[in-house]
């Protein structure tokens, strides 16, 4: 296999169909999307464009949601500032919360990032956690139905549930699923039990056996495999999941936008100038010269700029199709195409940053404390 997807690294050009096979998930079929459209009244762009492409038990969630409303669960590991890729599952969660009036649980795993990252202290990851929470709130969630918690601060509740999970997961299972080795620190080996907890937290807090749906990129699926193995033995439903593909790196089609590789990412706190510099220097599917581009056209299918339009910044289907054609036929050059994208990204980020500022005053309304 010439690519690798784990919760800690994504390398190479990911073949998402192969991942479905390798991870044993289900593709989001046309029938399932039609079913969703019937219930939600429309298809979100991320579904229409297959940015969410795979799932576990999403069909079951749709079947039972009238009788047994589902809770949403997702999370963030605070290593640095939030980037545009992180926002994708959160934007989708906001859409689902609005459509289905769902309670939304958000785990911030400062413990995970302290344990996994040599250079980060406990104080660092907590500070980054609070900074990242502003970006979460800026996505527009309903404070009455949104519960954000930081692992080290919500530890009393989490730990008591985590040990019930940990007791039923062997080292050999986590080694097989996560690739742990003898040199892995024991905090990391225990950590999957902590990321499993919010799958069960809605049942405990809402005092009902609650179905849970987890929107996240496919890199987090290892955790759900382990959690699903133990869920029924603990008296809970298996968590359902819906997986998105990765927003690509600014530097080209192999690898994802990643907070730990700064050159790959546009961060939510970037200035207008930073956005323009990054976009103007990004990898494109363009030719070496303008003359060649006019003659032979560009290749939008490997182009970062086109992908960003497709994922987030050109919601109109006709417009995005036209851009694809214009690029391939040499009707549009990379310079103006990049400048337009940078402008669109900045328009989006400017509003996000305003909401982020306002979030500082209401942060506590969103926090779950014990």
Q: Which residues bind ligand TYM (CB under 6 A)?
A: 7, 73-77, 85-86, 88-89, 107, 109, 112, 195, 214, 216-217, 219-220, 244, 246-247, 256-257
Q: How far is CA 53 from CA 17, 31, 67, 254, in A?
A: 9, 13, 26, 19
**Number of other residues whose CB lies within 10 A of the CB of residue 367:** 18
Decide if 214 contacts 54 (C-beta within 8 A).
no
Decide if 122 contacts 114 (C-beta within 8 A).
yes
| Minimum distance, C-beta of residue 193 to ligand TYM, in the bound complex (Å) | 12
Please identify, using beta-carbon distances, which residue of 305 and 332 lies nearer to ligand TYM.
305
Please identify, using beta-carbon distances, which residue of 244 and 293 lies nearer to ligand TYM.
244
Please identify, using beta-carbon distances, which residue of 256 and 356 lies nearer to ligand TYM.
256
Distance between CA atoms of residues 97 and 88, nearest Å: 14
Distance between CA atoms of residues 62 and 146, nearest Å: 21
Please identify, using beta-carbon distances, which residue of 74 and 103 lies nearer to ligand TYM.
74
| Minimum distance, C-beta of residue 300 to ligand TYM, in the bound complex (Å) | 19
Q: Which of 273, 216, 266 is nearest to 89 (CA)?
A: 216
Please identify, using beta-carbon distances, which residue of 332 and 345 lies nearer to ligand TYM.
345
The β-bridge partners of 240 are: 213
| Minimum distance, C-beta of residue 243 to ligand TYM, in the bound complex (Å) | 8
Please identify, using beta-carbon distances, which residue of 195 and 293 lies nearer to ligand TYM.
195
| Minimum distance, C-beta of residue 75 to ligand TYM, in the bound complex (Å) | 3
Pull the structure tokens for residue 96: 């689902």
Distance between CA atoms of residues 248 and 256, nearest Å: 4
148 Cβ partners below 8 Å, 6+ apart?
A: 106, 108, 133, 136, 137, 366, 367, 368
Chain centre to alpha carbon of residue 5:
14
| Minimum distance, C-beta of residue 112 to ligand TYM, in the bound complex (Å) | 5
- The residue nearest ligand TYM at its CB is 77
Decide if 210 contacts 203 (C-beta within 8 A).
yes
| Minimum distance, C-beta of residue 228 to ligand TYM, in the bound complex (Å) | 14
Q: Which of 259, 308, 311, 246 is nearest to 282 (CA)?
A: 308
Distance between CA atoms of residues 54 and 121, nearest Å: 35
| Minimum distance, C-beta of residue 115 to ligand TYM, in the bound complex (Å) | 11
Please identify, using beta-carbon distances, which residue of 36 and 116 lies nearer to ligand TYM.
116
Please identify, using beta-carbon distances, which residue of 112 and 327 lies nearer to ligand TYM.
112
| Minimum distance, C-beta of residue 322 to ligand TYM, in the bound complex (Å) | 25
Q: Which of 117, 103, 109 is nearest to 155 (CA)?
A: 109
């Amino acid at each position: 296999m010439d690519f690798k997807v784990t919760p800690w690294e994504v390398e190479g050009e990911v073949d998402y169909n192969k991942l479905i096979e390798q991870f044993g998930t289900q593709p989001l079929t046309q029938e399932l999307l039609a079913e969703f459209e019937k219930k939600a009244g429309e298809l979100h762009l991320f579904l229409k464009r297959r940015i969410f492409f795979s799932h576990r038990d999403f069909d079951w969630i749709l079947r039972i949601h009238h009788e047994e409303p589902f809770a949403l669960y997702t999370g963030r590991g605070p290593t640095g500032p939030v980037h545009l890729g992180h926002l994708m599952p959160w934007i989708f969660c906001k859409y689902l919360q609005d459509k289905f009036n769902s309670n939304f649980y958000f785990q911030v795993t400062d413990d995970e990032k302290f344990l996994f990252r040599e250079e980060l202290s406990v104080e660092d990851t907590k500070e980054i956690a609070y900074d990242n929470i502003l970006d979460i709130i800026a996505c527009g969630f309903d404070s009455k139905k949104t519960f954000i918690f930081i692992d080290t601060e919500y530890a009393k509740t989490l730990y008591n549930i985590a040990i019930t999970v940990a007791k039923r997961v062997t080292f050999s299972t986590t080694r097989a699923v996560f690739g742990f080795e003898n040199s892995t620190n024991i905090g990391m080996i225990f950590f999957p039990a902590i990321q499993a907890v919010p799958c069960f937290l809605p049942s405990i807090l809402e005092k009902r056996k609650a179905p849970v749906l987890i929107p996240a990129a496919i890199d987090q699926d290892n955790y759900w495999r382990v959690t699903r193995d133990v869920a029924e033995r603990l008296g809970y439903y298996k968590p359902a999941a819906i997986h998105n593909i990765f927003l690509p790196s600014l530097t080209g089609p192999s690898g994802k936008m990643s907070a730990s590789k700064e050159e790959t990412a546009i961060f939510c706190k970037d200035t207008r100038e930073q956005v323009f510099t990054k976009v103007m220097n990004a990898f494109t599917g363009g030719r070496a010269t303008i003359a060649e581009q006019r003659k032979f056209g560009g290749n939008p299918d490997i182009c970062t700029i086109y992908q960003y339009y497709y994922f987030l910044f050109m919601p109109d289907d006709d417009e995005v199709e036209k851009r694809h054609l214009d690029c391939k036929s040499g009707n549009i050059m990379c310079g103006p195409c990049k400048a337009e994208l940078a402008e669109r990204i900045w328009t989006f980020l400017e509003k996000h940053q305003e909401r982020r500022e306002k979030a500082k005053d209401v942060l506590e309304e969103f926090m779950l404390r014990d």
